[in-house]
Structure 1
Amino acid sequence: MKVVTWNINGIRTLKGGIKRALDCLDADIVCVQETKVTRDLLDERTAIVDGYNSYFSYSRGRSGYSGVATYCKDSATPFGAEEGLTGLLTNHEGAVGCYGDLSDFSSEELQLLDNEGRAVVTQHKIMCQDKEQAVTVINVYCPRADPEKPERKRFKLQFYRLLQSRAEALLKDGSHVIILGDVNTSHRPIDHCDPADNEDFAENPGRKWLNAFLHSSKRDEAGPETDSEVTDPVQAGRFIDAFRYFHPTRTSAFTCWSTLTGARQTNYGTRIDYIFADRRLVAEQFAAADIMPEVEGSDHCPVWARLNCPLLPSSRPPPLCTRYLPEFAGKQQKLSRFLVKVEQKPTQLEQKNGLPGSQEEEEKRENLNPTAGGNISSKKRSLTSDSAVPKGKKTKTVNTSSKPQGNLLSFFKPKSTNVNQCEKATTATDQCLVTSTTAFDTEPVLDGSAELCTSSAAVETGKPAKTNNSSPQPAVGQSGVKKGASSGFWKSVLHGPPPPPCCKVHGEPCVLRTVKKEGPNVGKQFFVCGRPQGHASNPEARCNFFTWVDKGK
């Protein structure tokens, strides 16, 4: 049995699609976070993957935000699955259950904790020591504590407590538990590229929770635990970090890097993606665990673990499986959903918030046929005009209305005065008009054709034709001169961005940045070294060059 977790930073951005990614990971259970798809944007290619059954959790409040999904091979089909940790989103028979003591949370808090699409729970059966046992896989995307939003810090700690309550309740019920995903906290200094930069590293509330949640012992240096150590009560938690179990002292083992600073090139990151499991399961069944920094496509890398125990698949996926969704189940409802407009009164909350602008525009584009709509409206207008005008003028009216109103060729047609002159010319002149008009239909007016029309008109009036030497410069040339003059004027008035200085250490051009953090310097620009961020001891990393942009220059 092999499990994998990966924060993919958008499931629709995977090169080659989700099928190719799953096959490359070659795992029985693949848990992905930050899918960034909501229920209405889930397409069949993502939801129904050949050889797998999938289970999604979506954000209820924001489009393109959060979201997790668990993909199980058909040989690892779970017996139960549900969305969220509280049970409030579960209304089917395939629920996993065991929610623990939730008395410390209000009903509103529980609803908010599950509304962001941060957890999918699946329950499987495995063979452990010739005995069938249950193992519950909890796929989580824990919140990030935004320093600018104190309420998010409290929300993150609430989510941790809810996760712990659910996991311990499942353990008490007799099931093994595996928790995997993006926890958004680096546990120890060894899991951070530069812990010295954080003065309160050990005092961080998330790290304090991890210290209590995870079991720690002298086994970190001595090797796997014995059975007696597993059964003895300890002050530490009931779960083990699988990676540190097999690699207790490995440094620079990071799973997340900043894309803004190119920190992956210098491996200047953090380890915030984990696979946790209850102590007995790790001691008895875990064979290996590691990270996969060579796998790109996201600002995170996958983490995997392999167990010795085989999985026992269910004969039928639980009701949460995406293949049972109406639009993917092949039912008549799928056809009626797209062809029949259902009138529904939006709730007050929907009327207040509405859909994000980008989502509304996308839905409009998908459900609107501009070509067909334009033909119908044009026919209606033509019929109206036909009935309103006399018979003698009907043809002229129809021809006028049938012309495109914004035809691009109209910008390249000759002036009306020249056309009138050409219409009065002789047969030779008529031939000239045809030639010029043909040129107008295919390309902008050329100097030769314009001169030809002028000369033909001169034959009619008896005036001498002007030659190239005596004729004024064409309008195109005049606009070119004006353009150059105006360009020079604007350059003298508006100063462009200043040339980037070179950093003092590498002598290379710097990059321009803008302060986005709220404060007295928000919006100001500055130059920093253009190399990727890295440790101060790394000569290939960014140096400490910094200078503000002088707006006066």
Structure 2
Amino acid sequence: MKLVTWNINGIRTFKGGIKNALDSLDADIICVQETKVTRDLLDERTAIVDGYNSYFSYSRGRSGYSGVATYCRDDATPSAAEEGLTGLLTNHEGAAGCYGDHTDFSSEELQLLDNEGRAVITQHKIMCQDKEQTVTVINVYCPRADPDKPERKQFKLRFYEVLQRRAEALLQGGSHVIVLGDVNTSHRPIDHCDPCDDDDFAENPGRKWLNGFLYSSSEEEDPDEEECDKESEMRDCTQTGKFIDIFRYFHPTRKNAFTCWSTLTGARQTNYGTRIDYIFADRCLAQEQFVGADIMPEVEGSDHCPVWAKLKCLLLPSTKPPPLCTRYLPEFIGKQQKLSRFLIKVDQKSSQSEPKQTLPGSQEEEERRENMNPSPVPYISGKKRPAAPESAAPKGKKSKTTNNSLKPQGNLLSFFKPKLTAVKQCESTPALDGFTSSHRDPKASTTSELCPDTGSPTEDTELVVKAPSQLCISSTTGEPDKTVKTKQLASQLAVGQSDVKKGASSVFWKSVLHGPPPAPCCKVHREPCVLRTVKKEGPNMGKQFFVCGRPQGHVSNPEARCNFFMWVEKGK
């Protein structure tokens, strides 16, 4: 029997397909956290995977937030399954039961603790030493204590309490218990990249809870001298925690074994992270049945990596999945739904404001492309057809002359300068009209025809359009030398005028848009720094600064980011 837990940071992590990802993990029970999918976004390809049966818990207050899921192979089908820890979300048969004492919790608080979709429980039958037993797997995504939101710190601690009471109640009810997932707290200094940064490391409330939840290895007796039966386990656990950290059980002194890294600082490149993803098991099961456990930092796609553990016991699959299985959802079995199902109040703001990228990653590429780029509106007789882009014009057809007045101005300075004499004014000049009518020079007629209209994009046309109005008059005299001189003068004027325009334009835009300031080099590596912006609320909110461009790491690592820091001065 093999278990895997992985915070996938969004169901879109499985870009190659859900089944391929599950098969590559090669486990009987795969627990994933932070799916960020709600029931309305759960598609059939994600919920129903060939060879697996799945169980989801969704956030009921926010879209694209939290969420956990457990995928079990068909030969590891659970006998019971339920959503949440408190039992308030269970309205069907086949639940695991054993909820513990919640007398010091209000019903509203219990509801809030389960409303974020942070737990799924599956119960399995196993064969241990020719004896059929029960093991309950609790897949959890524990809350993060946001330092800017004190209420979330209390929420996290209350979630820990509910989790512990449920796990201990199941254990007392006669089932083995495995708790696995993202606990969002590094337990000991060995599980943190730089524990000295936190002066109150051991005083952290989350670490104190872990100390009481886990069995202390220093107090643990030699398993060869103690018979691990239910009575002795319960007697020992009255004085210490009831569960064992399986990774530390097999690797008690391994350092730099982290499961989570910051993506903003590129800390995974230097292995500057924390170990906050765990597999916990009750003491008896850990000592008798587990044969190995490790982390999988080579698996990418998320800011976390998977953690696996193996047991020597055999799984006994149930003949039928419990009612919580996603394949029984009405939207996936083609069952006629009640009208009340469509009248449930839904937060339209959150669903409408969410971008199309939040569609599950398991959707077909064509479907996602259709949502991202809808087809253009078809032509309707009697209505003006929308203008097509130039790239959409049929090949082999020349574009007709367009009216320049309909084109948007490409230069903002043109609104603040007097307009140049239009070329069409040459046509209405009295002296020019009389002169051209009495002299039928071929060159003159060609040029005069080009003055009123832009004509085809020939070299002469381009020259005449860019020249001032005097060019039209002198070019009709019929004298070749004057025409050449006039053309040369016009070309020089056009070039000079374009340079003036470019210069004025660059000065204008530089005065409006400063652009990013030049990046200095850090003092240690002599490499260009990167520009950052303060996003935390406070007096420095919105200010920019430069830091070393290398990934974050320990101060003793020469390849890691140095401590270079420089504020960006105003006006630069």
Name the TM-score class by shorter chain: 0.7 to 0.9
Q: Are positions 1:13 and 2:13 aligned together?
A: yes
User: How far 1:301 moved relative to its partner?
Assistant: 0.8
Say which of 263, 275, 285 aligns to 2:267. Answer: 263
Q: Which residue of 1 aligns with 2:556?
A: 537
Q: Which residue of 2 aligns with 1:29?
A: 29
Q: Which residue of 2 aligns with 1:514?
A: 533
Q: Which residue of 1 aligns with 2:442?
A: none
User: How far 1:115 moved relative to its partner?
Assistant: 1.1
Q: Which residue of 1 aligns with 2:310?
A: 306
How big is each residue's C-alpha offset from its partner over 1:427-471, in whole Å with a ceiling of 9 and x where there is no partner?
x99xx99xx9997xxxxx5656768999xxx9xxx9979886576
Kept after mapping to 2: 8 A contact 1:146/1:153: yes
State the identity as a percent: 71
Say which of 290, 293, 300 aligns to 2:297. Answer: 293
Q: Are positions 1:276 and 2:280 aligned together?
A: yes
SS at match of 1:211: helix
Say which of 339, 349, 353 aligns to 1:357. Answer: 353
Q: Are positions 1:322 and 2:326 aligned together?
A: yes
Q: Which residue of 2 aligns with 1:132?
A: 132
**In structure 2, C-alpha distance between the alignment counterparts of 1:472 and 1:215, rounded to whole Å:** 89
User: Closer, same or farther in 2 for the Cα pair 1:529/1:127, shift >3 Å?
Assistant: same
Q: Which residue of 2 aligns with 1:212?
A: 212
**In structure 2, C-alpha distance between the alignment counterparts of 1:551 and 1:136, rounded to whole Å:** 59
TM-score normalised to the size of structure 2? 0.78
Q: Are positions 1:413 and 2:402 aligned together?
A: yes
* Matched residue count: 507
Moved more, 489-498 or 120-129: 489-498
Say which of 382, 386, 390 aligns to 1:404. Answer: 386
**In structure 2, C-alpha distance between the alignment counterparts of 1:370 and 1:505, rounded to whole Å:** 51
SS at match of 2:535: coil
SS at match of 2:70: strand
Kept after mapping to 1: 8 A contact 2:454/2:465: no
User: How far 1:128 moved relative to its partner?
Assistant: 1.0
User: How far 1:534 moved relative to its partner?
Assistant: 1.1
Kept after mapping to 1: 8 A contact 2:401/2:454: no
User: Closer, same or farther in 2 for the Cα pair 1:448/1:12, shift >3 Å?
Assistant: farther
**In structure 2, C-alpha distance between the alignment counterparts of 1:369 and 1:552, rounded to whole Å:** 40
Q: Which letter does structure 1 place at the counterpart of 2:93? A: E
User: Closer, same or farther in 2 for the Cα pair 1:265/1:344, shift >3 Å?
Assistant: closer
State how 1:52-71 maps to structure 2 within 5 Å.
52-71=52-71
How big is each residue's C-alpha offset from its partner over 1:89-124, in whole Å with a ceiling of 9 and x where there is no partner?
222222222211111211111111111111111111
State how 1:74-113 maps to structure 2 within 5 Å.
74-113=74-113
Q: Which runs of 5+ in 2 are unaligned?
A: 360-367, 394-398, 406-422, 428-444, 467-471
How big is each residue's C-alpha offset from its partner over 1:13-57, in whole Å with a ceiling of 9 and x where there is no partner?
333122222111100000011111111111222212111111111
User: Closer, same or farther in 2 for the Cα pair 1:446/1:298, shift >3 Å?
Assistant: farther
Q: Which residue of 2 aligns with 1:385?
A: none
User: How far 1:245 moved relative to its partner?
Assistant: 0.8
SS at match of 1:328: helix
Larger radius of gyration: 2
Moved more, 84-93 or 201-210: 84-93
Moved more, 478-487 or 318-327: 478-487
TM-score normalised to the size of structure 1? 0.81
**In structure 2, C-alpha distance between the alignment counterparts of 1:367 and 1:497, rounded to whole Å:** 35
**In structure 1, C-alpha distance between the alignment counterparts of 2:558 and 2:224, rounded to whole Å:** 38
User: Closer, same or farther in 2 for the Cα pair 1:411/1:63, shift >3 Å?
Assistant: farther
Q: Which letter does structure 2 place at the counterpart of 1:47? A: A
Q: Which residue of 2 aligns with 1:152?
A: 152
Kept after mapping to 2: 8 A contact 1:221/1:248: no
User: Closer, same or farther in 2 for the Cα pair 1:55/1:507, shift >3 Å?
Assistant: same
**In structure 1, C-alpha distance between the alignment counterparts of 2:111 and 2:342, rounded to whole Å:** 25
**In structure 1, C-alpha distance between the alignment counterparts of 2:316 and 2:545, rounded to whole Å:** 58
Q: Which runs of 5+ in 1 are unaligned?
A: 383-400, 422-427, 440-444
